[in-house]
Amino acid sequence: MKKEYEKLNTRLKEQMQTDLNFDIVVKPLLVQGIHMNLYFVDGFAKDEILEKMMEFLLKADLQKCVETQDIQTFCDSWLSYLEVDVQPDFAAMITSVLSGSVLMIVEGYEEGIVIDARTYPTRSMQEPEDDKVLRGSRDGFVETLIFNTALIRRRIRDTHLRMEYHTLGSMSKSDIVLCYMDGLADKDLLDDIRNKLSEIHVEALTMAQESLAEALVPHKWLNPFPKVRYTERPDAASSNILEGKVILMIDNSPSVLILPTSFFDFIQEAQDYYLPPITGSYLRIVRILVFFLTLLVTPIWYYLNCNPQLTPDWLSFAMIQDHMNLPIIVQFLVLEFGIDALKMASLNTPSSLNSSFSIIGALILGDFAVNAGWLAPEIILYMAFVALANFTQPSYELGYAIKFMRVMLLVLTAISPVWGFWLGIALMLIIMASNRTVTNTSYFYPLFPFNPHDFKMIFARKKLRGKSSSRS
């Protein structure tokens, strides 16, 4: 048996290259004449747990135990820690070590013992920066998967809540959890997601949730409208689970995927439910109105400037009367791209220089640009409104989909001042209608197909009603 023990240790050391990787630790032990080896990644193992286990093993008659007990009985009798499993598969042993668990090899046994005594470096569970609320919980998902599942369990204390574990990536072996309510989630959707997960063959999910979304929900790259909704809020994720939706959580990512997602799902926000129904409904209506203004205010204004005979008298003050050094369409495009450049620059600006950056951005797109004759004040006004209105939409992907549609309307209006705007509206509706959800249903539900009750809920925040009910 000693020969088999040494052979297994040699294979493990060769596969994990312990002589080249300083952070993969091999700790040899000699306990009452029995040789053992512990394999773990430095920084993942909880030292105090291992010390307690060694203290317990020192009290046992290991020589007699190894001779008379199988490995499972040995674990049940002498390894007092809760999460201990026998692992006969060699590849699984290596994966468990690289995932953060501790592998114990005991002389006299051919299998390995996996001890889940791992801890991951993590940040505090503060509120997400891009999805804040005035009232409500201030916690948020983090990059550690087990913490995220605990945040969901804390909110849904029901035996019907399911947490299915999956692994993706031949090299990364990323941990993924499929979370749903049994009896509420659509069974066909669950089967479809499971099948798609099993058919994904990639080396690694390098970009975490985005890599998974692209592999799970393939779509034409020319269609910018998102098919997946993300959230970093445990309360929002729990609410969607209780509505019958499915959540996909990925290790190393604080964002979770909500499936299925239609266009009108992006209108909802957690803020609506932390305020009284009338206030929440009002904010939702304002958000819808701002959405349409963000999309249409500059194209309509440009269309009326191109067709002054269609401009009503009460709007004549808003039209440009003076001669412009640059065509209006050029000014719009300069500002569209300039605002994006400022956004990207702000992401790379140290926090200590944010004030200076804001001043520089205001000067570039403010009085200096007007006095130099590059931009008209009216165009700066409308584009400033559009830039600010984009922040009412928490979905980054939908914000850029709206931007692409707005630019398309402007360009088509410049090409054909009379019919270009209407052609752009028709083309935008076709692009949106051709988009499908992950369940291959209409992207415009509940408008198409029309569902009166769900359609009303788009504009009105549903009131919580207490009722006595039970589900078997």
Q: Give pLDDT tens digits for 373-396.
A: 778 888 888 888 898 888 887 788
Q: Which of 26, 48, 44 is nearest to 35 (CA)?
A: 26
Would the pTM of this model clear 0.85, i.e. be above it? no
pLDDT at 364 over 70: no
Q: Higher model confidence: residue 123 or residue 260?
A: 260
On the question of a cis peptide bond just before residue 218, with omega within 30 degrees of 0, the verdict is: no
Of the candidates 120, 159, 392, 131, the residue with the CA atom closest to the CA atom of residue 237: 131
pLDDT computed for residue 245 by the predictor: 92
Contacts of 405 (CB under 8 A, 6+ apart): 224, 295, 424, 428, 431
Q: What share of the chain is helix, strand, coil (3-state, %, to 5)?
A: 50, 15, 35
Residue 367 has pLDDT above 60, yes or no: yes
- Angle, helices 277-306 vs 420-434, to 10°: value is 140
- Residue 78: what pLDDT? 78
Which ranges of 43-144 does DSSP label H, i.e. alpha helix? 47-57, 62-68, 71-78, 90-98
Among 108-112, 298-302, 434-438, the minimum mean pLDDT is found in 434-438
User: Is the pLDDT confidence value at 414 over 90?
Assistant: yes
* HSE of 191, CA atoms in CB hemisphere, 13 A: 3
Q: Among residues of the chain, what percentage have pLDDT more than 70?
A: 93
Q: To the nearest whole number, what is the mean pLDDT of the chain?
A: 84
Which of the residue ranges 10-14, 42-46, 52-56, 170-174 would you say has the lowest mean pLDDT? Answer: 52-56
Instruction: Give residues with Cβ within 8 angstroms of 354, minimum separation 6.
Output: 346
Give the residue from 93, 431, 174 showing the smallest Cα distance to 295.
431
User: Other CB atoms closer than 10 Å to residue 77's CB: what's the count?
Assistant: 11
Closest CA to 265 of 42, 405, 447: 447
User: How far apart (Å, rounded) are the C-alpha atoms in residues 251 and 175?
Assistant: 5
Mean pLDDT of 122-151: 84
Q: Which residue type does 216 have?
A: L
pLDDT band at 146 (very low <50, low <70, confident <90, very high): confident
Judged by average pLDDT, the poorest of 202-206, 217-221, 390-394 is 217-221
What local confidence, expressed as pLDDT, does residue 176 receive? 92
Q: What pLDDT is stored for residue 62 in this prediction?
A: 76
Q: How far apart are the C-alpha atoms of 435 and 90, rounded to whole Å? A: 45
Which long-range contacts does 189-195 make (Cβ < 8 Å, 24+ apart)?
A: 189/246, 189/259, 189/260, 189/438, 189/439, 190/246, 192/438, 192/439, 193/246, 193/248, 193/259, 193/438, 194/164
Residues 6+ apart with CB under 8 A from 188: 439
Would the pLDDT of 423 be above 90? yes
pLDDT for residue 472 is more than 60: no
In the prediction, which pLDDT does 354 show?
Answer: 61
Domain ranges of the chain: 1-118, 143-260, 275-450
> CA distances (Å), 231 to each of 240, 270, 285, in order?
10, 10, 21
Extract long-range pairs of 392-396: CB within 8 Å, 24+ residues apart: 392/286, 392/287, 392/290, 392/291, 392/294, 393/266, 393/287, 393/291, 393/294, 394/130, 394/131, 394/266, 394/269, 395/226, 395/229, 395/230, 395/266, 396/130
Does 410 have pLDDT greater than 90? yes
Mean pLDDT of all residues in 402-431: 94
Residue 443 has pLDDT above 50, yes or no: yes
pLDDT at 408 over 80: yes
Distances (CA, A) of 189 to 30, 218, 462: 53, 16, 25
Beta bridge partners of 85: 114
- In this predicted model, which residue has the larger pLDDT, 417 or 60? 417
Say how far residue 429 (Cα) sits from the centre of its chain. Answer: 27
- pLDDT confidence tier of residue 463, bands split at 50, 70 and 90: low
What residues have CB less than 8 Å from 443, skipping those under 6 apart? 225, 262, 263, 432, 433, 435, 436, 437
> Beta-carbon neighbour count of residue 207 at 10 Å?
11
SS3 86: strand
More confident residue, 463 or 330: 330
Q: What value does the mean pLDDT take over residues 437-461?
A: 79
Task: Please tell me the least confidently modeled range out of 51-65, 156-170, 283-297, 316-330.
Answer: 51-65
Dig out the tokens for 29 from the structure: 């032990």
Q: 236-275 pLDDT, tens per residue?
A: 999 899 989 999 999 888 999 999 888 888 888 888 788 8
Contact 175, 204 (CB under 8 A): no
Q: Report CA torsion sign: 351, 354, 356, 360.
A: positive
- Look at residue 233 in the predicted model and tell me its pLDDT: 92
**Which of 17-21, 273-277, 368-372, 423-427 tops mean pLDDT?**
423-427
Q: Is residue 27 packed enough to be buried (19+ CB in 10 Å), middle (13-18) or exposed (0-12)? A: middle
How does residue 303 score in pLDDT terms, banded at 50, 70 and 90?
very high
What confidence score (pLDDT) does residue 318 get?
79
